[in-house]
Every structure is written in C-alpha cells, then in structure tokens.
Structure 1
Amino acid sequence: MTNFEYRPWHDGPDPLAPPVDIRAALDQIGRDVMEGSSPRSALEELLRQGVRGTRGLDDMTRRLWRERSRLQRRNRLDGTMQEVQRLLQEALDAEKRQLFPDPSDDARFREAQLDALPTGTAAQVRELANYDWQSAQAREAYQKIQDLLGQELMESRFQGMKQALANATPRDVERIREMMSDLNDLLAAHARGDDTQAQFTEFMNKHGDFFPENPRNVEELIDALAARAAAAQRMMNSMSAEQRAELGELIQQAFGDPRLAGEIARLDAQLQALRPGEDWTSSGRFRGQNPLGMGEAAQVMQDLAEMDGLAEQLAQSYPGARLEDIDLEALERQLGSEAAVDARRLAELERELRNQGLLERAPDGSLRLSPKAMRRLGETALKDVVRALSARRGERDTARAGAAGEPTGSSRAWEFGDTEPWDVSRTVRNAVLRTASAGGTVTLDVQDVEVVETEQRSRAAVALCVDTSWSMVQDGRWLPMKRTALALHHLVQTRFRNDALELITFGRHAQPVDIAELTAMEGVWEQGTNLHHALLLAGRHIRRHPDAQPVVIVVTDGEPTAHLEPDGEAEFHYPPLPRTLRLTLSEVDKLARLGASVSVFMLGEDPQLEAFVDIVARRSGGRVVNPDLDGLGAAVVSDYLRKRRG
C-alpha cells in the first residue's frame, strides 16, 4: 500500500488558494486596450491596480511609504545617549550619597573631582574611566554604561549581537576584539586579491557564531556587513553635528576598551572601499518621541533602505522589469505575509497570461493580444450581449430546430408532434440500456426515441460600418462600439461560420479592418464622417457574396461630413455639402438594389443626424435604432439575427 505523510505547510504558494482569475484579468486588459492603451500598458495597469481578491502593486507601494513615514514620525535617534545620561546620573548620585557621610579629606577630594567634571556626557564618561568608585552601586552603573556602549556598537554592525552580549565577560570582550581583528585582516587580504576560500573557511570555523547569515564566501560576507555598516553611517548622518560628535566620543568607551572602536572604524573604512555603491552619504529626518539605541536605529535605517529598494521593484519602471524581481522575503518583513502572497499571485498572473498564449510578441517586438485572447474577449462581449437581450426581451436568440435544415450534431428526446428524423443509434442504445438489466429481448419503446436536431442555416454577407471619428472618443462611445464589434465578430465566428463578416471603420476615410486592428485602434483627432466611402466598401463586400443574404449595419453619432472624390481623396466640409449627402444616398440606393436594407444605429440626439438617417431608412427599407450605450451591442446583434432570418 502507498503511504502518505502530511506535514505542516510553512512556505511557498498556498496549496488551498483559488487559482488566479485569468478571464477577469484578460477582460480588464482588453477593456484598456480598446480604450487606447497598448497591451503592455494595460498589463502594467492591471498589475498596479490588482484583481479581485489580490491587492495590486500601487496598494503595496502606498503601504510601504506609509510605513516608512511612520518610522520617521515615531522615532528619534538619541536613545543610546539618553540611556548613557541616565546611567551616568545614577552613578554620580550613588557615589555622592556614599561620600557625603564620610568626614575624611579623601571623601572631600573625591566630591571636588565629581563637581569639577567637564560639561558634556561623553567628556564626563571619559573623565571617569579611571575613577576609583567608592559606591558599589555607582561602579555597577558606570560598568553598565561601558557594556551598553559596547553592545550598541556591535549591534549597529552585527544584527542580533546586543542580545548575545547581554552578560558579556572580559573573556567575551577579548573574543570580540579578536574576531574584529581577524575580520579586518581577511577583508584586507581580499582587497589585495590574495585571500583564499580556505582562509574564509578557517575564519568561519573560528568565528561563525557571530554571523547568523551564514555567508558562503567572502563576497556574501562583505555584502551583509556593508549593508549594515552603511545603515549605521546613515544613522550618524541623520544626527546633528553635536550628537554625532558626542556619540563618536562615547563609543571610545565601548566595553572600556578603545581598541574595539578602532577596529570598527577600520572595518567601516574597508567596507566603504569594497562596496562604494552602498548608500553611505544620505540621511533621514526623525521627529518622533520614541528614542532608539544605536542598534535599533541602524536596523531602522536598514529597513528604510529595504523599503526604498522594494518601492523601486514594485514600480517596475526599469528596463526588463518582471514581477519575479520583487524580493518576497523583504516584502514579507516590511508588510507582512499577506503582501508576499499578493505579490506572488500577481507574478503568477503575469506568467500565466504569457504562458497561456494570451499575449504575444509582434514582429516589431511589442506586446499584442493573441488570437486566443481575442476569442476570449469576443466570448465575454457576446455573453454580455446575450444577457442584455435576455433582460430586455425575456428571451434569447437561439437556432430554431425543425424538420428542414442541416443537423446540428445533437439530438433530443422525441415529443408529440415532432417530424424530425430519428437518431437511430441513440434510440437503439436507449432501448438496450433500458432492457439490459431485465435480461430479456431488446424492444423499442416510445421513451427510447431520440430525434436529430436540425436548424435553418442561411448564409449572410454582413458589413458592419462603425464610426471612428473623434466625437466617438470624446463622447465615451469608443469602448461600447468596439465591444459591439467584438460580440458580433465572435457570434459569426462561432455560431454562423458560413457568414462573411466585414468590419469597416470610417472617419475621414473608410477602410476594412480585422478584429485585432479594430480592438487595438487608438482614437485620432481627425475631422470627417465619410459614410459615403464606408457604404461603397460595404457594397463591394456584398457583391463578392451574391448568394448570401445582405446585411448592412451602420453605427454612427454624426451626419456625413465627408465624401470620396474620384481621385481617392476625401473632401470634408461642415455643415455637410449637398454633394456629400447626394453621393452618400446614392450608395444607399445601390445597396437597396442589391437587396440590402441599411440599419442605422444612431448614437446621441443630433437633429440633423436624425433627419438624415430617417431618409436612409426609408430609401433602403431599413430601420433606425437609437440605443443607449449599454444596449448598443444587444441592439446590433439582435438586428443581425433578425435580418439573417430573412
């Protein structure tokens, strides 16, 4: 037997999370493309805004900047100096209490020494380095100052060191100084180029417990140390000149051993030479009330730098940017696990859009929607149209089954009055399945009978002429027009494949386009509504298919203001010239002689347009529809289905 073992889930994609919604993402990209964005811009906008259930890059960036601002508003950098001042005052008070009852001259001399201490915390700590404390409490408080300075100094360069040195002994301090000396020697050898992996391995075997990052070579060790040292330097840069000088003097008393501060200074100089690309010069403004120690301040500066790097990754504004570039571990540290999950899902969404062939490279290297993506967009647009038709009329257009026509490939149970031919194989199968359990002779019963479903199939030549003049963009009709064309195109390609559909755009000129060109077409500031040219192209399309039912559909929001001259040039004039109207109506008459009625879908409430399209409808035997934008697709598809039925 196969054994299964279940263990807790700790990291990686959530195995129970729902898959990313590719269809919703594609719909959003398609909508943006139809409004004039490039596919790349539309994809970037999708990733910035996110999808349902997944926050986008913009939201993560806003949270990063909010957290960054909170750190600077909440904190200040003088925590170490404040704590030193408190301990120093505690030591002085305890020593004076010890000396006060003592009548000896030595006690008076010591009091005079304490009263003559120089101003400034650092100077006082330095002056008291060799003082012979009479009070055990005072001696302990002063020792705490030296230990605190040592812990903070080491924590500012080695994360986690403060806790490790909480109860440091002189032996521990000597070991730290030895580690620092060996580290500086290793970095110096690396700078000269004569270090070896064996030398690094020996160093890690001896001092590896100081480096929880567990670097694998000198380069990784330098990267970790330089990032922390640069953060500590930015912390110093963020202080006032007085604070910086005071702290610089104080750290000379770290663990009571000035050699340690010297080793730190040597380390910083080497790291700055080895990693000049780190940010060693910038500073920050901290204006809060929460005092931070040197180690905490260095960590805050490191967090701020990490946030800046994450913000750049989330912006995706550099060449070749990919969502895989985002440091998910850093994002989780700064914004929590949910942000990392959202970023991982966005990366998966981007990867799936490419892997499923919904975005492809054009010959010029740009991204474009693939034919597969166009089919999905058309399917969505058609579903919206069918939903609108159902809501408006209480029904939806379906193929009518009947005795005449072509088989659809499906069958249904026979009902009283049906005259369709039997589907013999399915009928016999039903009878066998019904009688098999009884073990008797196979007999037919009326409940076994299935009939072949057929439908009336006539062929249509369809010319959909859509207005692409600037007014369509300006008045918000651009996207509904494109979605209408998508829906009609998808219906013809999937349901009525024998029909011949021609998409014709007309502005100053008219031209036939494929659905991908129309979807990606951008609005252009161009005056002119050349319906004459569009109807001329529609007539050519219908003549190429003389055996088909002619269907001409026009979507426009303005009366004709341009016509095509014999030399191929378009003449524009507003208000329309009589010649423009005459040539346009001449094409309407030619279409009528071909048996094509022209249905005009009039957008807007232009009285001149209304009067003109009324003439068009009367002369061609067509009709005029004035739909709202939401109902445009349903109206056009409904008219197409009505016309193709004769």
Structure 2
Amino acid sequence: MADQALPPDPARRNRPPGRYAYGPYVDGPDPLAPPVDLRAAIDRIGREVMEGSTPARALRELLRQGMPERTGLDELTRQAYEKRRKLQRETNLDGTLREVRELLAQALDAERDSLARQDSDDARFRELQLSALPSDTGGAVRELAEYDWQSAEARAAYEQIRDLLGREMLDQRFAGMKQAMEQATDQDVEQIRAMLDDLNALLAAHASGQDTAEQFASFMAEHGEFFPENPSTTDELVDILAARSAAAQRMLNSMTPEQRADLAELSQQAFGDPRLAQALEQLDGQLQGLRPGEDWSGSGRFRGQDPMGMGEATRSLEELGRLDDLAEQLGQSYAGARLDDIDLESLESLLGKQARVDAQALAELERQLQQEGLFSRAPDGSLQLSPKALRRLGESALRDVVESLGGRRGERQTRRSGAAGEPTGASRPWAYGDTEAWNVPRTLLNATVRRAGGDTRRLDVTDVEVVETEQRTRAAVALCVDTSWSMVQDGRWVPMKQTALALHQLISTRFRGDDLAVIGFGRHARKLELGELVGLEGAYEQGTNLHHALLLAGQHLRRHPDATPVVLVITDGEPTAHLEADGHASFSYPPEPETLAATVDELDRLTATRAAITFFVLGDDPRLVRFLDGLARRCGGRVVAPTLDGLGADVVADYLSRRH
C-alpha cells in the first residue's frame, strides 16, 4: 500500500514528495483480500435449501462452515476451545502453595540449624515446638505467627511468606499489584487497607441505592492509582471488580478441599494482619450481591506442570470465562444471535488479529447477502429466498447444464425471412410482399454507392434493404417432477430441483414466449411456483400419482392451443396412485389395474394434443423401464435414462429439440 497504509515512521517525514514505499497493511480490513464470492455463497445456500433446510438455517450453516479463504465460525470456536484446553493442560493452580511450602521449609531448616548450634534447654524446647507444628501448611504458618525466631535467615523467609500472601491476594483483585507491592512498607500496607475500607463503603452506599457519583469521584481522586482501567462510574468499577472476584472464586472452586483449607488459613497471615483478608472477604460478598449474574460457582480442571500464583491463576480463570463467553458468541446457538454480538476486541486479545479479521469478513459476507436482496420475508415472518436469489440459483444451474451439454446441440427455432419476429442483426434486399422495417443506413449507403457510379436517381427500389427477422416457435411446456419419498431417499431430490431451475432459467431468459408449468406429483399432484419447489421438503408420503400429473399437464397445454405442446416427466417409480372422481387419491402397491388404466387414459388424452412427451427414468427398476417403454410407444414419445449428474443436460437438450 502507499504511504497512508504504513505505520508512523520518522524517516518518512524526510521522504521527497511523490515518492512511495510499500509494506504490510495495518489497521483495518486488508484491501487486497479476495472479494466475497456472492455467487458461490448463494449457490451453497441454495443447495442447502433444496436439500430441505430453511434459508435462515442455510445462512447460519454457511457462516459456521465458512468458504474458501473465509474462516468460518466453527473454526474460530475450535480455536477458542483449543486455547482453553491448552491453558488447563499446561498449568496448575498450586503455585502460591508450592512457594509458601518452599519458604516454610527454608525457614524451618534455617531455624533448626541455628538451634542445633545452641546448647541450652530453651533451644531444645524450641526444637520440640517446631516438631509439634501442624502437618498442614496453613496451620503451621498460623502457629509460627507468635514464634520468636532465633535465626535471622528463618525470620526473613517467614516474613516473605506473609508478604507473598498479601501480594497474591491483592493481585487477584487489582491488576499489577503483586509487582507494585514487592518492596511494600508498613505505610504502603496501611494505604491499601484504607483503600479497601473506602471501597467497601462506596459499594455499600451503591448497593443501598444512594447516588454515589460524588463519592465515586472522591474515591478515584484518592485511590485512582490502583485502577489503571480508569472506570468512569461506580457501575463500571463494580463490573471490573466483580469479574475478577468471580474468577478468584472459580479458582478456589477448582482446588481440592485441602488446598482451599490451606489458603483460608494462610489468608489470615497476609502482611501479618488478618484485617486485609477480612476487608477482601467483605468486598467479595458485596460484589456477589451487586453482580449475581457473574459465574461464581464455576470451576476448571488444571492438570499441567506449570504452577501459577493466586493472581496469575485468577487471571487464567478470568480468561477461561472470557473464552467461554467468546465460544458462546461464536456458536450463535442462542435465540436472536447475530454476528454483531461477537466482541471483536476480546476476540483479538484472546485469539489474535487474524481471528478478528476472519470474524469481520464473515459479518461483511452476511451484510452483503442481505444488501443484495437475496432474502425476503414470508407473510409468517420467516426468511425465504427472494426472486433475485432464485434467478441466481437458476443461472448457476443452467451454467452447469450448459457445461454438461458439451457438444450436444438442440435446435429450437426455425428461420424464414420476411416473417414477423425478432431482428437477427442482419438485413436483405426488399422483395415484393415484405412488411419488415427498412434498414435505413444500408438503404442510404446503397443509394450513395449507386449515384457515385453515375446514376442520377436519388433513390431506387433496388437500394432498399429491410431488417431480417426470425420466426420463433412458441411452446407450452409441462415439467412433471416426481416428489415421492423415494426421490429423497435415493439422493435424487436436489438434482431434480436443479434441473427444474435450469429449465426455468433458460425459458425465462432466452425463450420468453414459452410457458412453463412445473408440476410436482406424490400422492397428489399440484402446480409448483419456483420458490415453492426450491424450498419444498421431502415428505414421507407413499404414492406416485402420474395420472394426476398428466391431468394437470393437459390442462396447462389446453390453455395454450397455439403453442407447441411439450411434456417432460421425471420419475423413479411406477404409478401407485390415481385420482378418483371425488378428488380422493387411491394408493396401492403393487399398482392396481385401475391406477394403470387411469394413467394410460390420461396419456391418450395428452397424445390427442400432439404433445411431444419424454419420460426421464431414474434408477434401474426394470418394471418401471418396461412400463415407461410401453407408454412411450403408445404416445409416440421416448424414454431417456440419464445419470443424476446428466439429468439437467438431458432434460434441457430434449426441450430444445422437442419443442418444434
């Protein structure tokens, strides 16, 4: 990118005007990233819908799985869970307890060494005191609170325990406190206690419903250094502290009962004064009352070898909570979920910048699909494919069919000059009886050329050329598609729908004078609009009512007596149902004679219209093939046995050739 895309660089200020430098793009979406492939996206969504999904589910599935060069929500969710597992797999929570045990052992060893060098009853008595200490770490530290250390080294190690506990407990609630209190003096500790007392007073007033704006401002003016997040209201302060306090509670929940008991004992020794633990306990209680919606009861299993201190462990539990929240946002499995719900800053901080870019790309894909008008609302409020989306699906289906056709040709039109029709782009000399419009430029050019040869006539009948047109035949087409359960069961459902889409697209864009009716037949038959067919779900209903389908096809053809009649039937089963006089569909398997007779009678009526009829038989049922062969011989039609991949090409090619 040019200069404006580069981060600030002092050297660039001295660059001569008009000179450019190129480097990695920073800040914002990559302008060189490949554009969103909306055609591929709508093809994916359309296929899902044709397989029985709703448009809303299909869109969610697209966003979950992603597209080539577009990471999906599932992959981002996997990354969140993998980071969670790694954190739990590599670390454990007993870092503070381990460090306390090491310092305690160091203090006791130094004290025993010092006592061993003393030859006195007092030294022996002290040795007995040390050997009678409780076995648990917390109890031993508590018992030694009043012990008069003889070794300076031992006393220093014991004081380190108290300082460590105080710093760790503060680090759980206040970011960076462990490092800030490394060389804490008594005055520093007293300042912390004062801050906690003021904080508890502020939260108590807030919990009672008082207006704490002035109290909050005074608190931040005096103690703001402890809150680098710089909250602007009491509520913001409560949110920050409650998240950490809940994480500290989850850390305790994750420990063994013995570890929790040790920490409870040890907390009373923080900085050598139980008042700190009491103030923090009061703070936790108030925060839990103010923010009961935080996760105070959760826990996690940490089974790694890398020990963490209390503050670090609390931040890890806080990070686990953020990862869980992020995974829920990415999962989009709750009611009313939207991609806008994803916290992009949290996503970037937890999974990296690329994860944020991927989420933004998915949101942009969703926005463009909405902006392109590919979805509309049904009367019941549900999402459905718009006519524009159906046209795009038809274009894709027709493109696939054309590629499959290869060298096959289907001539569909007859041409004769002088008849009313559509211009071909060419012209010809006028002949007696022609009624087409003159081609004025060609006519004037002919006159100019003739006069240049010496002929003085301004215009002659021999100069006139007329626009050549082509006569196009018009067809009424009935596409009868089997919608029985076997079509779904045997994987023929989507190819059937794609075939109908391709034929509809061809007729609606190239042969607009033709009239197509799509008729679906299962137990009953009915005319289907294109959107209805695309979203049609397979129903477990027995019956293949070809009789009813041919009846509706005949009605469609008779409404267009001046058009060439074409009937195309796609089926994978024998007729097993027929329509009774009262409109009831009678089903029987194997087919009963009445069903076969009704089907043949309706075929005879179609034959009387001189319709061109083709049966496309799917599967390898020999009885069906024999039956359709008999029907084709009876009506002068034909039977085609396409593969599923070639169904669309065979139907379109047959339409182009049979509609003369």
TM-score, normalised via structure 2 length = 0.86
Partner of 2:621: 606
Q: What pairs up with 1:50-199 in 2 under 5 angstroms?
A: 50-102=66-118, 111=127, 113-199=129-215
Partner of 2:641: 626
Partner of 2:534: 519
Distance 2:427 2:26 in 1: 55
Distance 1:427 1:17, change over 3 A: farther
Distance 1:404 1:124, change over 3 A: farther
* CA displacement, residues 299-350 of structure 1 (integer Å, 9 cap, x when unaligned): 2221222222223223323221112112222333333333332222222222
* CA displacement, residues 261-293 of structure 1 (integer Å, 9 cap, x when unaligned): 111011011111111222222333333333221
- The alpha carbon displacement at 1:100 in A equals 4.2
Task: Tell whether 2:267 aligns with 1:251.
Answer: yes
Task: Tell whether 2:53 aligns with 1:37.
Answer: yes
Which amino acid in 2 is paired with 1:155? D
Would you say the 8 A contact 1:359–1:370 is kept in 2?
Answer: yes
Alignment partner of 2:395 out of 379, 390, 397: 379
Q: What pairs up with 1:469-548 in 2 under 5 angstroms?
A: 469-548=484-563
Would you say the 8 A contact 2:424–2:470 is kept in 1?
Answer: no
Q: What pairs up with 1:263-282 in 2 under 5 angstroms?
A: 263-282=279-298
Partner of 2:344: 328
Distance 1:587 1:122, change over 3 A: same
Would you say the 8 A contact 1:232–1:301 is kept in 2?
Answer: yes
Would you say the 8 A contact 1:98–1:135 is kept in 2?
Answer: yes
Distance 1:5 1:426, change over 3 A: farther
Would you say the 8 A contact 1:386–1:396 is kept in 2?
Answer: no
Distance 1:257 1:491, change over 3 A: same
Distance 1:164 1:532 in 2: 88
Would you say the 8 A contact 1:403–1:421 is kept in 2?
Answer: no
Unaligned ranges ≥5, structure 1: 415-419, 430-450
- The alpha carbon displacement at 1:372 in A equals 0.8
Distance 1:408 1:127, change over 3 A: farther
Alignment partner of 1:342 out of 339, 358, 363: 358
- The alpha carbon displacement at 1:400 in A equals 9.1
Which amino acid in 2 is paired with 1:79? G
Distance 1:455 1:350 in 2: 45
Distance 1:4 1:48 in 2: 37
Distance 1:150 1:170 in 2: 12
Distance 2:364 2:173 in 1: 37
Distance 1:428 1:149, change over 3 A: farther
Partner of 2:459: none
Partner of 2:650: 635
Distance 2:607 2:140 in 1: 106
Would you say the 8 A contact 1:359–1:367 is kept in 2?
Answer: yes
Distance 1:199 1:56, change over 3 A: same
- The alpha carbon displacement at 1:490 in A equals 0.8
Would you say the 8 A contact 1:553–1:636 is kept in 2?
Answer: yes
Partner of 2:472: 457
Would you say the 8 A contact 2:202–2:212 is kept in 1?
Answer: no
Distance 1:562 1:6, change over 3 A: closer
- The alpha carbon displacement at 1:135 in A equals 4.1
Would you say the 8 A contact 1:405–1:457 is kept in 2?
Answer: no
Task: Tell whether 2:582 aligns with 1:567.
Answer: yes
Partner of 1:242: 258
- The alpha carbon displacement at 1:394 in A equals 6.6
Q: Which moved more, 1:326-335 or 1:189-198?
A: 326-335
The secondary structure found in structure 2 opposite 1:348 is: helix
Q: Which moved more, 1:336-345 or 1:539-548?
A: 336-345
Which amino acid in 2 is paired with 1:491? L
Distance 1:150 1:250 in 2: 10
* CA displacement, residues 15-67 of structure 1 (integer Å, 9 cap, x when unaligned): 33223322222111111111111112222222222222223223333333343
Distance 1:295 1:397, change over 3 A: farther
- The alpha carbon displacement at 1:112 in A equals 5.1
Q: Which moved more, 1:249-258 or 1:471-480?
A: 249-258
* CA displacement, residues 438-476 of structure 1 (integer Å, 9 cap, x when unaligned): xxxxxxxxxxxxx98965522111110111111111111
Partner of 1:448: none
Would you say the 8 A contact 2:50–2:534 is kept in 1?
Answer: yes
Distance 2:443 2:232 in 1: 74
Partner of 1:435: none
Q: Which moved more, 1:527-536 or 1:65-74?
A: 65-74
Percent identity at matched positions? 62
Distance 1:111 1:579, change over 3 A: closer
Would you say the 8 A contact 1:197–1:217 is kept in 2?
Answer: yes
Partner of 1:551: 566
Distance 1:18 1:103 in 2: 85
Distance 1:49 1:425 in 2: 58
Would you say the 8 A contact 1:186–1:195 is kept in 2?
Answer: no
Which amino acid in 2 is paired with 1:518? L
Would you say the 8 A contact 1:411–1:423 is kept in 2?
Answer: no
Partner of 1:228: 244
Q: Which moved more, 1:5-14 or 1:182-191?
A: 5-14
* CA displacement, residues 123-149 of structure 1 (integer Å, 9 cap, x when unaligned): 332333344545443333223222211
Q: Which moved more, 1:75-84 or 1:196-205?
A: 196-205
Task: Tell whether 2:321 aligns with 1:305.
Answer: yes
Partner of 2:383: 367
Would you say the 8 A contact 2:254–2:301 is kept in 1?
Answer: yes
Task: Tell whether 2:431 aligns with 1:389.
Answer: no
Which amino acid in 2 is paired with 1:213? E
* CA displacement, residues 504-525 of structure 1 (integer Å, 9 cap, x when unaligned): 1111111111101111111112
* CA displacement, residues 337-370 of structure 1 (integer Å, 9 cap, x when unaligned): 3333222222222222222211111111111111
* CA displacement, residues 357-396 of structure 1 (integer Å, 9 cap, x when unaligned): 1111111111111111111111111111011112xx3779
Would you say the 8 A contact 1:407–1:452 is kept in 2?
Answer: no
* CA displacement, residues 472-528 of structure 1 (integer Å, 9 cap, x when unaligned): 111111110000000111111111111111111111111111101111111112222
Partner of 1:24: 40
Partner of 2:30: 14
Which amino acid in 1 is paired with 2:537? E
Distance 1:568 1:388 in 2: 41
Unaligned ranges ≥5, structure 2: 8-24, 429-435, 446-465
- The alpha carbon displacement at 1:213 in A equals 2.3
The secondary structure found in structure 2 opposite 1:628 is: coil
